[in-house]
Amino acid sequence: MSESTSKPVLSIQDLVVEFKTEAGLIRALDGVSFDVQEGEALGIVGESGCGKSVTALSILKLIPSPPGRIAGGSIKLDDIDVVNQPDDEMRKVRGSLASMIFQEPMTALNPVFTIGNQMVEIIRVHQKVSKAEAKRQAIEMLRTVNIESPEQRIDQYPHELSGGMRQRVMIAMALSCSPKLLIADEPTTALDVTVQAQVMEEINRLQREMNMGLILITHDLGVIAESCTRVVVMYCGKIIEMAETEELFRNPRHPYTRGLLDSIPRIREKKLETLPIIEGMVPDLANLPKGCRFADRCPKAEDHCRESEPPLEDTESGGKVACFIPN
């Protein structure tokens, strides 16, 4: 919490999100709290289903309802109380104050409209400008994300662009109204490896240039290492560890984090060894164990781990961890 002097652009307190399913009511998020400062890049990691995307969607109040619902806690986006904000007020926030990039550039754009049409629409949602002006801005934005000959591209349909190009378009759309917070939900997962780096670089560059807060959601710790200053590790709807990136990589406190780090293949090592994996399965959110949610898979778990849940507590290195027996 080094930049504690600057105002957080996002502050989440005790967020609880519930979903109604056939198996009953499940808590997708259970008491999640964190801040994002202006110009800060925060990474969220975790296995699929751990609540990363739900967190992202909650920030923009995009949880599909029903079946989902924000059951408790608060989200403050630049002083706006997201949870109690009426929907059409919230609409003004989306895309302008906080914006989002999605995983699948293939499907995230509407196939039956040109990208220009979709960009112009978004610009005009937030700014009272003419169509021509909006189009000019859109072209400008495309140029900013390094798309060549944007004047031609703008009249093309999504399917006429390559995957990387589409993701750049997404970025351009997301940033077209200069948001203070950008949420990138697995922005490179669906892309070719060669393109991944370029796109990530683009995001980082723009984040710095525009001094935005950035939430980078990914399961790829390598990406986090390169782009983020701070990391949140989630497991089964809870934050289990939160730390400065360097600190986390150097000294993971939670056994789960450790497991995650161990499962990254290290290219430098000459010989290929069998990668350690985290044994067992993620528990069913509908049937959570009584104690620590990770206990069943934890190599160090002791009896009391199965009795009660460890709280998220500060560590001496300025991070937080939820474990009775941290490293």
Contact positions vs another protein (CB under 8 A): 20-22, 60, 62, 65-67, 86-88, 91-96, 99-100, 102, 104, 107-113, 118, 121-122, 125-126, 157, 159, 170, 173-174
Shortest distance, CB of residue 77 to another protein, whole angstroms? 13
Please say which residue, 118 or 196, places its beta carbon nearer to another protein.
Answer: 118
Q: How far apart are CA 126 and CA 11, in angstroms?
A: 23
67 prior amide bond cis, ω within 30: yes
Query: In one letter, which amino acid is 12?
Result: I
Contact 238, 249 (CB under 8 A): no
Alpha helices of the chain — where are they, by DSSP H? 52-59, 87-93, 105-108, 115-126, 131-144, 150-153, 163-175, 193-210, 221-227, 245-250, 255-262
Contact 26, 49 (CB under 8 A): no
Please say which residue, 91 or 306, places its beta carbon nearer to another protein.
Answer: 91
Shortest distance, CB of residue 301 to another protein, whole angstroms? 30
Shortest distance, CB of residue 62 to another protein, whole angstroms? 6
Please say which residue, 116 or 291, places its beta carbon nearer to another protein.
Answer: 116
Query: In one letter, which amino acid is 98?
Result: A
Please say which residue, 108 or 233, places its beta carbon nearer to another protein.
Answer: 108
Please say which residue, 114 or 317, places its beta carbon nearer to another protein.
Answer: 114
The DSSP bridge partners found for residue 241 are: 233, 321
Shortest distance, CB of residue 18 to another protein, whole angstroms? 14
Shortest distance, CB of residue 215 to another protein, whole angstroms? 13
β-bridge pairing 213-217 and 80-81: unpaired
Burial of 303 (0-12, 13-18, 19+ CB in 10 A): exposed
Classify 124 as helix, strand or coil. Answer: helix
Question: Distance from CA of residue 132 to its chain's centroid?
Answer: 33
Please say which residue, 96 or 227, places its beta carbon nearer to another protein.
Answer: 96
Shortest distance, CB of residue 63 to another protein, whole angstroms? 11
Shortest distance, CB of residue 94 to another protein, whole angstroms? 4
